[in-house]
């Protein structure tokens, strides 16, 4: 039986799912990404990592990245009164992308990859989602319930992905990965500045740029969750035989 990522061996010993599947020769960690930005990352970021002083650790870069998104969320929250802060948020989201990409490259380059680093990376991804969906909910630029529902669904995608990776050894990434999502967000925040006010009214509710992006995010995250569940269930059935 398997409970919360653990398997009980016949002798009664509890081991992690990944350990037991590895012992059976079934669990082979792999990452399915296919991001169109991968060639750029491979060409630029190793050279950038080589220039970073030894005193700066991969985990420090991870912290810089999550701090940038927390401040970005605060900037968006205040953008209803100071619209120019939307561009500050764009810059901070790009800082987060660089940090989130660079920390892993640096860790591998220095042979400093660790369980702590992997945990922080995943945990702070969740913090990023909270910051960038709760912040807009206080801005007056989006219906709060739409932004918050979008955040909940994205966190659900994270939960399914990380639990599925733990159980199968495969990290599924469909259509839009973290890089594409961040660049899309930068475009949305820029559009919110360039196209202020309601664009049209739906069932008596005026909708602004961030409302439309939240609706699109809710739809995308719902489909993403359904596809992830289907794929991981199929993989686990194959593993279980």
Q: Over 70: is that where the pLDDT of 10 sits?
A: no
pLDDT number for residue 125: 86
More confident residue, 16 or 90: 90
Considering the chain, what percentage of its residues have pLDDT values greater than 70? 83
- Residue 141 has which token pair? 């630029």
User: How far, rounded to the nearest angstrom, does the alpha carbon of residue 128 sit from its chain's CA centroid?
Assistant: 7
Residues 6+ apart with CB under 8 A from 227: 174
Contact between residue 134 and residue 73 where contact means Cβ atoms under 8 Å apart: yes
Would you state the torsion angle of the CA atoms of residues 61, 65, 70, 75, taken in this order, to the nearest 10 degrees?
A: 120
- Residue-wise pLDDT for 48-59, tens only, equals 888 989 899 888
Closest alpha carbon to 80 in 204, 182, 209: 209
Q: How confident is the model at residue 14 (pLDDT cuts 50, 70, 90)?
A: very low
Q: How confident is the model at residue 12 (pLDDT cuts 50, 70, 90)?
A: very low
Contact between residue 232 and residue 172 where contact means Cβ atoms under 8 Å apart: yes
Closest alpha carbon to 29 in 234, 232, 233, 170: 170
Radius of gyration of the chain (CA): 20
What average pLDDT does range 24-47 have in this prediction? 66
Q: What is the DSSP letter of 137?
A: H
Order of all β-strands in the sheet with 6-8: 2-3, 6-8, 14-16
What average pLDDT does range 76-83 have in this prediction? 96
- Residue-wise pLDDT for 99-113, tens only, equals 988 988 888 888 887
């Amino acid at each position: 039986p398997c409970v919360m990522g653990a398997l009980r061996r016949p002798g009664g010993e509890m081991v992690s799912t990944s350990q037991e599947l590895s012992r059976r020769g079934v669990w082979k960690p792999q990452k399915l990404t296919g991001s169109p930005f991968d060639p750029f990352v491979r060409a630029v970021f190793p050279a950038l990592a080589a220039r970073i002083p030894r005193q700066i650790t991969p985990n420090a870069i991870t912290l810089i990245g999550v701090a940038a998104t927390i401040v970005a969320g605060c900037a968006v929250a205040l953008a209803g009164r100071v619209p120019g802060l939307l561009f500050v948020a764009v810059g901070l989201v790009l800082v987060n992308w660089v940090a989130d990409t660079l920390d892993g490259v640096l860790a591998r380059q220095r042979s400093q990859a660790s369980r702590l680093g992997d945990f922080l990376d995943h945990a702070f991804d969740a913090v990023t989602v909270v910051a960038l969906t709760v912040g807009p909910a206080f801005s007056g630029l989006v219906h709060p319930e739409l932004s918050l529902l979008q955040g909940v669904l994205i966190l659900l995608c994270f939960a399914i992905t990380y639990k599925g990776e733990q159980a199968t050894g495969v990290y599924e990434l469909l259509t839009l990965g973290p890089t594409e999502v961040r660049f899309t967000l930068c475009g949305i925040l820029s559009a919110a500045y360039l196209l202020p006010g309601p664009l049209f009214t739906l069932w008596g509710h005026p909708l602004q740029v961030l409302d439309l992006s939240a609706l699109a995010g809710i739809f995308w995250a719902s489909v993403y969750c359904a596809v992830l569940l289907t794929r991981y269930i199929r993989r686990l059935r194959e593993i279980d035989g």
